[in-house]
Amino acid sequence: MIRGATVTSRAFLTQGFETLTTPLWWYSFGIVWLLGAVKNSAVATWEHLGVGLWARNLFVPMYGQSDIWGRIISFIVRFVNVIFRLIGMALWMVVLMACAIVWCAGPLAALVLLYVGVVRLVA
């Protein structure tokens, strides 16, 4: 019972402290975690979109059409594909960057909102 009470208060204290120090974690270990998550997502998306695969096969005729027109059309289609897939990748990177920015700006935004809120209330 004594052990139970002690550990429960210790758990509350630890997690309370953890909650209070969240801003510090947010900009230290949190950023490290964020970078890891962004990297993993970017790699997975690159694999999923197969940009590298399409780029590597840029001059390989599609569907075995190895005559000249087949090669030309294949190159065009592959080139367009690479471009669109790169655009897709870029868009996703923008989303990831946006997430990173939101992560970094989040606490500041909260502070600004609090400040504005208090000022409005006082006014």
Partner 1 sequence: MDVHSLPIIVCESCQGAGAVQGGACRTCGGAAVGMQSHGRFLFWERLVNGTEIAYRQSSESVHRLFVMIFGTILVFGIAGAGLLFFQNQTKFLPLIGGVWLIFLMLLVARMIRHTSVQTEVIPHTYLQSDSSVGPTATSWSEARRLSGAAKQNITTAFSADLLHAIERAFLIAEQNHSAFVTSSHLFAAILENHRMETLSMRLLIRPKDFLQALQPHLVGAAPKDTEPQIPRETWQLLFGAYEIAWESHEPVVDIADLAAVIISVDESIQTIYDDFEVSQEKFANALQWERVRSRMQRARAARVSGSRGRGKGDTNRSMTALATPFLNSVSSDLTKASWYGHLEPMVGRGAELESIFRVLQSGAHGVLLVGNPGVGRRTIVNGIAELMVAELVPPELADKRLMELDVARLLSGASAAEAEDRLLEALYDIARAGNIVLVIPNIEKMIGISMGTGQSMDVAGVLANELSKGYLLCIATTTTESFNKVIANQALGALFQKVVVDEMDVNTAIQVLEAKSNQFEYQHDVWFSYEALDRAVELSNRYLHDDYLPKKAIQIASEAALYVRNRRGKNQFVTAEDVSAIVAEKTKIPVTAVSENESEKLMRLESAMHERVIGQEEAVTVVANALRRARAELQSGKRPLANFLFLGPTGVGKTELAKTIADVYFGDEAQMIRLDMSEYQDTNSIYRLIGRPGEQGTGMLTEQVRQKPFSLLLLDELEKADANVLNIFLQVMDDGRLTDSVGRVIDFTNIILIATSNAGTRYVQDEIARGTSMDHIKNALIHQELKDQFRPEFLNRFDAIVLFQPLTQAQIVSVARLMVLGVAKKLSERGIGLRVTDEALANLAEAGYDPAFGVRPLRRVIQDKVENAIAGLLLENKVQRKDTIVVSETGVTVEKT
Question: Per rule CB under 8 A, is residue 106 in the interface with partner 1?
Answer: yes
SS3 percent helix, strand, coil of the chain, rounded to 5, is: 90, 0, 10
Q: Considering the complex, what minimum distance in angstroms separates the CB of residue 47 from partner 1?
A: 7
x/- contact string, 17-46, with partner 1 (CB under 8 A)?
-xx--x--xx---x--x-------------
DSSP designation for 66: -
112 forms part of the interface with partner 1 (CB under 8 A): yes
90 makes contact with partner 1 (CB under 8 A): no
Kindly tell me which of 12 and 84 has the beta carbon lying closer to partner 1. Answer: 12
Helix (H) / strand (E) element for 87: namely: helix 68-122
Cα–Cα distance measured from residue 7 to residue 56, given in angstroms and rounded to the nearest whole number: 59
